[in-house]
Structure 1
Amino acid sequence: MDRDLFRTVKQGTRNQARLLYHRLVCRLPHLLAVTLLLVVAPRLVSTLSLAALWSEARANAAVLLAACAGCAAAAYAYAMSRPRPVYLVDLAGYKPGPAHEATRAQAIRQFGLAGGFDDESMSFQKRMMERSGLGEATHFPASLMSIPVDMCLQTARDESEAVVFGVVDELLAKTGVRAEDIGVVIANSSLYSPTPSFVSLIVNRYRLRHDVVSHNLSGMGCSAGIIAIDLAKHLLQVHPDTYALVVSTENITLNAYLGNNRPMLVTNTLFRVGGAAVLLSNRRQERARAKYQLIHTVRTHRGASDRSYGCVTQEEDDAGHVGVSLSKELMSVAGEALRTNITTLGPLVLPLSEQLRFLATVVLKRVFRADVKPHIPDFTLALDHFCIHAGGRGVLDELERSLKLSAWHMEPSRMTLYRFGNTSSSSLWYELAYCEAKGRIKKGDRVWQIAFGSGFKCNSAVWKALRAVDAVAVGDTGSPWAQDVDVLPVHVPKVVPIDDDEASYKTAAA
């Protein structure tokens, strides 16, 4: 434990030193200019009168004009070298129709009808679902609700097209942006990567221009949404005056697991249909109507560790069934990745008092051997809203404890898990949409998005609200929460029994 703590402190000290260095370098021109002015000004005033200064200026008009032009050019170059602001204009989340909703009991019965599961596997999935934190109206694709299940490329394509086209249509309608004005498009889906790609699908459907910058991300897990945002941020620094469309989704038609390997069964009880689209821009005129400005992105990749690399893997079981295996060390690995990530993020957002308290406890523990617990920084002093990837109830419980967050802070993540399940990389946007729907977002608020993904990765983004976002009215079709905003939040016990005994799915399977 001391060794881990020492590594954390060492990394934090290095990050703080790097941050101070960059701040000093950025302000060096100002410091030099002010220093020069303070040195030269008294001498000029003491030796020259105003008349003499005017006479000197007229005599050296060409030199003076050249100096002014040089200063103007330097000021322009400095202004242009500063990072372009990245604005989030609006976002959209996918809400499947009522025909795709399924209770937990219906899901269990459908698993039984799928065949291939033994009694032990069915009982395990039932127990996991009772503890999952999911509600009674999450969504499945038509392919997995049919009898028998129809897992093929065509039904997978149907699922993805419904999600992707649904969110992009809604986003373009909400923003009024023309498809031909989009200069960057990024799509991410971890397990399903068709040919042509999702990006090509979007370009073809919306007739995007031929020089659009496109990137398709796959195999990067549930944190790929933040990776896509980080990529868009960098692209918007070199492509001026444009929009970036980011689409985050996952496909579960081809990724439902039909075998009996227990580590692979967990995903059946958590993953559901979902997707989101986000419109970013570096146009300065968009600031007036944009909702947020991107402040920081921090990406952490611990793939150099074999333990981290192998904790989430897609593989075949002994019977040849493909599924995603979750290691028992997943929570431990996620905790290590989170600590590494917040060690980098902390100096960027936390007040100095919190950083000093953290260092003080380390000194007391390591130098004076005092029996004190390591200080966990209070991120609520710097951040107002927390959107933590709704990967599962265990993940949310652990982060609530580790970051010392309140039930109010965890509400968007828990209600997203309850209403939509684990929708992979898009879950962060459902959570942000929940904060908006409840009228929580006020001007100046800061939002922290945290996501975990295979590899193993922990990525985060910090946004600043540029304006207050009005609460969503019941029935408003512009939010995935419109039908639920008046009944949520609800209390979700740690164990919620399913009103469906073992014989019911045995009978269904028979």
Structure 2
Amino acid sequence: MALFSNFPLQLMVVSAVLMGGLLKIWRWYLRRGKRVFLVDFSVYKPAIIHKRSGDYLMQQAKRTGRFNDQSMAFMRKMLERSGIGPQTYFPFNVINVPCVPTMADAWGEAKDVMFGAIDELLEKTGIATEEIGMVVVNCSLFGPTTSLSSLVVNHYKLKETVITYNLSGMGCSAGLISIELVKHLLCVHKNTLALVVSTENMTLNAYYGNYRPMLLTNSLFRMGSAAVLLSNRPTDIRFSKYELVHTVRTHTGVDDRSYKCVFQEEEEEGNVGISLSKDLMSVAGEALKTNIISLGPLVLPLTEKFMFLWSMVRRKVLKMKSVKQYTPDFTLAFDHFCFHAGGRAVLDEMEKNMNLSKWHMEPSRMTLWRWGNTSSSSLWYELAYTEAKGRVRKGSRVWQIAFGSGFKCNSVVWKTLRMVNPLEEKNPWMDEIHNFPVEVPKLTPTSNSSL
């Protein structure tokens, strides 16, 4: 009889459990076909013939006879303070004497880095090329005819129904833009594999003048590429490494200062280069703040949301000017951080303003040291570093964030679906990962913060 006396309570409990189960099933049904998985990715490691020191780069710059003494001194100083290590990779037009870049050289660089990354990705995944239904290639500065996406289709003999996009002029954040584009496309095209290729092309884009705002790019950029395989096929969850959780894009181009802070143009002598404004750091900071305000509510725990909101109310509503804006603890939301390795000062500001540890910044700093600024592909070198260190565990969350001309700040959040064993991975870091992290020499107090 005691059993039946509690019958209404038991019925309520059973009903609650059933309702919870049905709700989960309903959520799964709504998400079915909308989930995007990162099956695997690869980053390109150039042949050793491309490996040169910063000193060699400066010798080549001097041989051109195009730079005056002040420009040479400035480029050397920027190189020393860039956070880039002593050995990185350059395309043939930079390491050959004389340095006379041609369109054929640019095509050669594109083929080397893109095919190198894609070939390794196909080998790792075992995917047949006829399974690929979508190709998105992003390269900011090299937009030839025919397009780089058509180059991929032709080389790998992809099927005639393949969907292709080619993104150019979108800066170092274009890789994450490609990911978001594929996310939206996969909501329409069911059971599809998508190949994303992120790269930059240095061959035709060195600056041969003496206008200081354009000289910095000569010291920072290196060759590299990444290939990423995405899928919305439900069965691929068993083999995939990550699931796409969030994408957040911020574009501040409505403001003239933001629009012009990274701009390709001719200077007075007619030399084409990319001008970096003195406002770059402040513009990036404003774009980052806007991006975080959009991303924070999606990822932060309730306590952090409350603290941030409360500080904003005190400052904006109650006019308490002495109250500082609360900086959320993003380590409560993310396990790993991949910030675009654009330059040392950018990473310094990220570490300082977001209260991150050296361990959290390690993948970004070591990528800058080992590979230099490889533009949109740098985020994938950073994630490869994290995997090579054996830090990727099932359920952990990864935050990728990149800045780009326009001005743009883009974020992508991934959830790890399985543990990644570095000993089972083909990873360009593996043969030297035991040497990292290295101690990057500190800057002097007089260092230029514009890097």
TM-score (norm 2): 0.91
Residue of 481, 487, 506 corresponding to 2:429: 481
The residue type equivalent to 1:251 in the other structure is N
Residue of 139, 148, 151 corresponding to 1:201: 151
Task: Find the aligned partners of 2:251 and 2:405 in 1 and give their Cα distance.
Answer: 10
Q: Which one has a bigger Cα radius of gyration?
A: 1
- 2:184 aligns with 234
- 1:401 aligns with 352
Is 1:493–2:444 an aligned residue pair? no
Is 1:105–2:55 an aligned residue pair? yes
Task: Find the aligned partners of 1:122 and 1:137 in 2 and give their Cα distance.
Answer: 19
The residue type equivalent to 1:184 in the other structure is M
**Displacement after TM superposition at 1:464 (Å):** 0.2
**Displacement after TM superposition at 1:371 (Å):** 2.3
Task: Find the aligned partners of 1:92 and 1:447 in 2 and give their Cα distance.
Answer: 17
Is 1:463–2:414 an aligned residue pair? yes
Unpaired runs of 5+ residues, structure 2, are 1-10, 16-21, 445-451
**Displacement after TM superposition at 1:148 (Å):** 1.0
The residue type equivalent to 2:213 in the other structure is P
Compare the two structures and name the one with the higher helix fraction.
1
Task: Find the aligned partners of 1:263 and 1:316 in 2 and give their Cα distance.
Answer: 12
Q: Deviations over 1:308-354 (max 9, x none)?
A: 00000001122221111000000000000000101000000000100
Q: Secondary structure at the match of 2:435?
A: coil
Task: Find the aligned partners of 1:368 and 1:455 in 2 and give their Cα distance.
Answer: 33
Q: Name the % identity.
A: 57
Contact 1:114 1:147 in 2 (8 A): no
- 1:158 aligns with 108
Superposed CA RMSD: 1.9
Residue of 224, 229, 236 corresponding to 1:274: 224
The residue type equivalent to 1:468 in the other structure is M
The residue type equivalent to 2:387 in the other structure is E
Task: Find the aligned partners of 1:114 and 1:441 in 2 and give their Cα distance.
Answer: 46
Contact 2:37 2:236 in 1 (8 A): yes
- 1:420 aligns with 371
- 2:43 aligns with 93
Contact 1:130 1:495 in 2 (8 A): no
- 2:78 aligns with 128
More moved, 110-119 vs 346-355? 110-119
Task: Find the aligned partners of 2:252 and 2:231 in 1 and give their Cα distance.
Answer: 31
Residue of 158, 161, 169 corresponding to 1:211: 161
- 1:69 aligns with none
The residue type equivalent to 2:58 in the other structure is I
- 2:5 aligns with none
Q: 1:387 to 1:318 in 2, by over 3 A?
A: same
Q: Secondary structure at the match of 2:433?
A: coil
Task: Find the aligned partners of 1:208 and 1:76 in 2 and give their Cα distance.
Answer: 37
- 1:363 aligns with 313
**Displacement after TM superposition at 1:115 (Å):** 1.9
**Displacement after TM superposition at 1:459 (Å):** 0.3
**Displacement after TM superposition at 1:108 (Å):** 1.1
The residue type equivalent to 2:140 in the other structure is S
Q: Deviations over 1:68-124 (max 9, x none)?
A: xxxx9xx99993675521000110001111111111111111111122000000000
The residue type equivalent to 2:198 in the other structure is S
Contact 1:182 1:243 in 2 (8 A): yes
- 1:373 aligns with 324
The residue type equivalent to 1:484 in the other structure is E
Q: 1:87 to 1:118 in 2, by over 3 A?
A: same
Task: Find the aligned partners of 2:40 and 2:312 in 1 and give their Cα distance.
Answer: 42
Is 1:331–2:281 an aligned residue pair? yes
The residue type equivalent to 1:170 in the other structure is E
Q: Deviations over 1:417-473 (max 9, x none)?
A: 000000000000000000000001000000000000000000010000001111248
Task: Find the aligned partners of 2:396 and 2:134 in 1 and give their Cα distance.
Answer: 27
The residue type equivalent to 2:396 in the other structure is D
Contact 1:87 1:294 in 2 (8 A): yes
The residue type equivalent to 1:425 in the other structure is S
Contact 2:109 2:201 in 1 (8 A): yes
Unpaired runs of 5+ residues, structure 1, are 1-36, 42-71, 497-510
- 1:436 aligns with 387
Contact 2:182 2:194 in 1 (8 A): yes
- 1:53 aligns with none
Is 1:313–2:263 an aligned residue pair? yes
Q: Deviations over 1:23-70 (max 9, x none)?
A: xxxxxxxxxxxxxx99xx9xxxxxxxxxxxxxxxxxxxxxxxxxxxxx
Residue of 445, 448, 473 corresponding to 2:399: 448
- 1:291 aligns with 241
Q: Secondary structure at the match of 2:187?
A: helix
Contact 2:394 2:417 in 1 (8 A): yes
Task: Find the aligned partners of 2:442 and 2:65 in 1 and give their Cα distance.
Answer: 29
Q: 1:204 to 1:368 in 2, by over 3 A?
A: closer
Contact 1:185 1:214 in 2 (8 A): yes
Q: How do residues 164-175 of structure 1 correspond to structure 2 at under 5 angstroms?
A: 164-175=114-125
Residue of 132, 139, 145 corresponding to 2:89: 139
For these two proteins, the number of residue pairs brought into alignment is: 423
The residue type equivalent to 1:252 in the other structure is M
Contact 2:57 2:94 in 1 (8 A): no
The residue type equivalent to 1:136 in the other structure is P
Task: Find the aligned partners of 1:219 and 1:411 in 2 and give their Cα distance.
Answer: 29
- 2:447 aligns with none
**Displacement after TM superposition at 1:150 (Å):** 2.4
Contact 2:194 2:229 in 1 (8 A): yes
Q: Secondary structure at the match of 1:235?
A: helix
Q: Secondary structure at the match of 1:248?
A: strand
